[in-house]
Amino acid sequence: MIISITILRYLYMYKLECRQVGFDCSHTMTGNTEEEVLQRAKEHGTQVHNLKEGELQSPEMQSKLRSLIRKTD
């Protein structure tokens, strides 16, 4: 049985909910990899929550964000 690449990508997507990070925000970042999710979190954090890029790239914040990323159901 051959499963299409589109279905496989959906099955293995990752997500991060902004409220899990500590913001009162319903935004969810998704991506095919953890790196994509982290990039989207950086964009969202700087554009919507006025965070500085350096804050998001600190080892502590990167560790926190990575620990909150989950595979989609």
Task: Give the 3-state secondary structure percentages of the chain, helix then strand then coil, rounded to 5.
Answer: 55, 15, 30
CA distance 13 to 33: 7
Euclidean distance between CA atoms 62 and 4, whole angstroms: 32
Task: Please state the φ and ψ torsions of residue 3, each to the nearest 5 degrees.
Answer: -100, 130
Percent above pLDDT 70 for the chain: 82
Q: What confidence tens digit (pLDDT) does each residue in 16-51 have?
A: 999 999 999 999 999 999 999 999 999 999 999 999
Containing domain of residue 31, as a range?
A: 5-71
Q: Into how many domains does the chain fold?
A: 1
Tell me phi and psi for residue 31, to 5 degrees.
Answer: -170, 165
Q: What does pTM read for this prediction?
A: 0.79
